[in-house]
Chains A and B, each alone.
Chain A
Amino acid sequence: MSAVEVRGLSRSFDGREILRDVSFTVGHGEVFGYLGPNGAGKTTTIRILLGLLAPGAGEVRVLGRDLASDDDARRRVGVLFENNGLADRMSAAGNLAYYAGLYGVDDPAERIDELLTLVDLADRRDDLVGTFSTGMKRKLGIARAILHRPEVVFLDEPSSGLDPGAQRMVRDLILELSRREEMTVFLNSHHLDEVQRICSTVAILAGGRIRAFDTVANLTAASDRLAVTVSLADPGDRAHACETAMGLPFVAGCDVDGDVLLCTLADPGATPDLVAALVGAGFRIEEVRRSSRSLEEIYLEHVDLAEGGA
């Protein structure tokens, strides 16, 4: 059984289809990145998973349960929305104590002390949350989300509105929690650098559909094997060299891109064969580079395809 299962999920608002046949699963202990542009339906997916919205079609399960109808199952799930879920007119410890009561946390005082120390807010425990900076509120929000030791935690844009230092702090905190508390993390984000650093698996949502769903390693490896840039000593040879490359069985495609050839290889191990074939055809090669694309490039490619109506 997966920690999170989404099968054939669709949902419309006022006749506008937001999610179309969305399916993915998240394994136990994974840090899962759910990517997509603003308005893609990421938050809608999370709200449906949490039982706040009903699915239009399809089925969702968290830890095998439907959180909409199962009050007790929500005890095993934590959530952090952008507003952190904190009362400004209560102290940091007071906010945590309130949620500890709602979740029935055993020995809440000890757990609150532990978490305030973890998020480096122990010395501000009695201060009103309204006096905190955005980063401090976010840290306290994360502490609140994991207060009851959930098995799955949903984090909706945890780095949104934070400066780079605070973003790094939140990222490190998520990684530490994932390791220390062994929880499944469902990270809803469009901070691609953050996702690439901390997530093991990602799904890219664009145009209401899942455009890619794989491990970060597989996605980036898949893109690495596709693209090779070749710089020629004689720029006038580029068009001819491109034709030659296209005739090779292991080359899926070739374009002249500025001063270089951009070859797409069907076989990830064929770079030496490409070089040998071009040299054998009389072209003088100055540089060959495997083009390493980041998750950002892969994401933008899928989003552009979706916006183009693909």
Chain B
Amino acid sequence: MSTLGIIAGREMRVALRNRSILISGLIFAIWLPVMSAMGIAAGAGEEVTTLAGSIAAVTLPVGVFMGYIFCADAFLREKRDGTIETLLCTPVSLRCLWEGKAVGVAVPAYLTTLLSAAVTAAAVTGLTGAPVAAEPLLLAHLAVVVPVWIAAAAGLIGAAQLALGMRENQILGFVLIFGFVFLIIGLQQVVPGGPGISATTEAVLAAAGVALLALARVIAGKVTKERIVRTIP
């Protein structure tokens, strides 16, 4: 197995054993979709593309928030406990370490988001009778746009958590989350195509996600071992 795979696999195993993170993640993944589904069903009628667009709009913020939740375990805990220092002494480059952890965060965050989308779709279908799960653009959204945004969020938040002290991290975590959410809402409002899901909206969101992922890589490349070690509490 590659070094990246070893690191990612370990982060996933550790995340799955962290009950508090799993429970809060699952509550968020189920509670928010159910509440959203009631709103979607009430306001969207039975127009398939409108329903799919509403579900797509919900899944991106959920995915980003899941990335934030799982980052707390993979990056912040490692730093708070000081165990990151031992990892930095292994023959693994800092970039590989960051990538492995970001993947290890993104995979459980993505799976939880898929669960969230399934709950939303089931709830909306149940309430409206419209077959939203079969909408191809929604499937493309879940298969491409959502994982790219989750990976970007995990990478950016992870890099920030490595580079900043504990107090700054508490503040910056929320800034990043709200920044992502406002960006998603802003893009969905600005892109023409109406309230329903459209190829244009998905293309713009995918491009923005890839740009954010590239930005995360650039920022992670600026983080040094010295910076990480000097901000260990």
The residues of A with any CB-CB pair to B shorter than 8 Å are 47, 50-54, 67-68, 71-75, 77, 79, 81-87, 89-90, 94, 98-99, 101-104, 144
**Interface-central residue, B1, B87, B88, B91, by most chain A CB under 10 Å:** B91
Judge whether A102 and B226 touch: CB under 8 Å.
no
CA distance A94 to B14 in the complex (A): 11
Whole-angstrom distance between the Cβ of A309 and the nearest chain B Cβ? 28
The A contact surface, by secondary structure, is loop
CA distance A54 to B3 in the complex (A): 26
Closest residue of B by beta carbon distance from A72: B91
Which residues on the B side are within 8 Å of A87 (C-beta)? 10, 14, 83
Question: Is B142 in the interface zone, CB < 8 Å from A?
Answer: no
The residues of B with any CB-CB pair to A shorter than 8 Å are 1, 3, 6-7, 10, 13-14, 17-18, 81-83, 85-93, 225-226, 229-230
Which residues on the A side are within 8 Å of B18 (C-beta)? 89
Judge whether B81 and A74 touch: CB under 8 Å.
no
A-B contact pairs, 22 of them (CB 8 A): A51-B89, A52-B225, A53-B230, A68-B225, A71-B93, A73-B91, A74-B89, A79-B86, A81-B85, A83-B83, A85-B85, A85-B86, A85-B87, A86-B83, A89-B14, A89-B18, A90-B17, A102-B3, A102-B7, A102-B87, A102-B92, A104-B91
Judge whether A52 and B88 touch: CB under 8 Å.
yes
Which residues on the B side are within 8 Å of A52 (C-beta)? 85, 88-89, 225-226, 229
Which residues on the A side are within 8 Å of B87 (C-beta)? 85, 102
Which residues on the A side are within 8 Å of B14 (C-beta)? 87, 89-90
Given A89-B17, A90-B13, A102-B92, 20 more pairs with CB closer than 8 A: A52-B89, A53-B225, A53-B226, A67-B89, A74-B89, A74-B91, A81-B85, A83-B82, A83-B83, A83-B85, A83-B86, A85-B83, A87-B14, A89-B18, A90-B10, A98-B6, A99-B90, A102-B3, A102-B7, A102-B90
The B contact surface, by secondary structure, is helix
Closest residue of B by beta carbon distance from A76: B91
CA distance A54 to B225 in the complex (A): 9
CA distance A51 to B88 in the complex (A): 9
Nearest 8 CB-CB pairs, A to B?
A85-B86, A101-B6, A83-B82, A89-B17, A74-B91, A75-B91, A102-B90, A79-B89
Using a Cβ cutoff of 8 Å, how many contacts connect chains A and B? 74
Which residues on the B side are within 8 Å of A90 (C-beta)? 10, 13-14, 17
Judge whether A103 and B91 touch: CB under 8 Å.
yes
CA distance A54 to B17 in the complex (A): 36
Judge whether B81 and A83 touch: CB under 8 Å.
yes
Which residues on the B side are within 8 Å of A89 (C-beta)? 14, 17-18
Which residues on the A side are within 8 Å of B7 (C-beta)? 102
Which residues on the A side are within 8 Å of B81 (C-beta)? 83
Of the candidates B13, B89, B229, which one forms a contact with A77 in the assembled complex, judged by CB atoms under 8 Å apart? B89
Judge whether A71 and B89 touch: CB under 8 Å.
no
Judge whether B6 and A102 touch: CB under 8 Å.
yes
CA distance A26 to B89 in the complex (A): 20
Which residues on the B side are within 8 Å of A77 (C-beta)? 89
Of the candidates A50, A68, A71, A85, which one forms a contact with B92 in the assembled complex, judged by CB atoms under 8 Å apart? A71
Which residues on the A side are within 8 Å of B226 (C-beta)? 52-54
CA distance A79 to B147 in the complex (A): 36
Which residues on the A side are within 8 Å of B85 (C-beta)? 47, 52, 81, 83, 85
CA distance A102 to B85 in the complex (A): 14
Tell me whether A50 and B89 are in contact in the complex, defined as CB-CB below 8 angstroms, given that A83-B83, A90-B14, A101-B3 are known contacts: yes
Judge whether B229 and A47 touch: CB under 8 Å.
yes
Which residues on the A side are within 8 Å of B10 (C-beta)? 87, 90, 98
Which residues on the B side are within 8 Å of A98 (C-beta)? 6, 10
Whole-angstrom distance between the Cβ of A91 and the nearest chain B Cβ? 10
CA distance A71 to B89 in the complex (A): 9
Whole-angstrom distance between the Cβ of B79 and the nearest chain A Cβ? 11
Whole-angstrom distance between the Cβ of B33 and the nearest chain A Cβ? 28
Which residues on the A side are within 8 Å of B229 (C-beta)? 47, 52-53
CA distance A81 to B232 in the complex (A): 13
CA distance A100 to B172 in the complex (A): 35
Which residues on the A side are within 8 Å of B3 (C-beta)? 101-102
Which residues on the B side are within 8 Å of A54 (C-beta)? 226
Which residues on the B side are within 8 Å of A67 (C-beta)? 89
Tell me whether A81 and B92 are in contact in the complex, defined as CB-CB below 8 angstroms, given that A51-B225, A54-B226 are known contacts: no
CA distance A53 to B232 in the complex (A): 13
Which residues on the B side are within 8 Å of A102 (C-beta)? 3, 6-7, 87, 90-92
CA distance A85 to B194 in the complex (A): 52
Judge whether A103 and B13 touch: CB under 8 Å.
no
CA distance A83 to B87 in the complex (A): 12
Whole-angstrom distance between the Cβ of A55 and the nearest chain B Cβ? 11
CA distance A81 to B81 in the complex (A): 11
CA distance A79 to B88 in the complex (A): 10
CA distance A75 to B93 in the complex (A): 12
CA distance A81 to B226 in the complex (A): 16
CA distance A33 to B28 in the complex (A): 52
CA distance A71 to B225 in the complex (A): 13
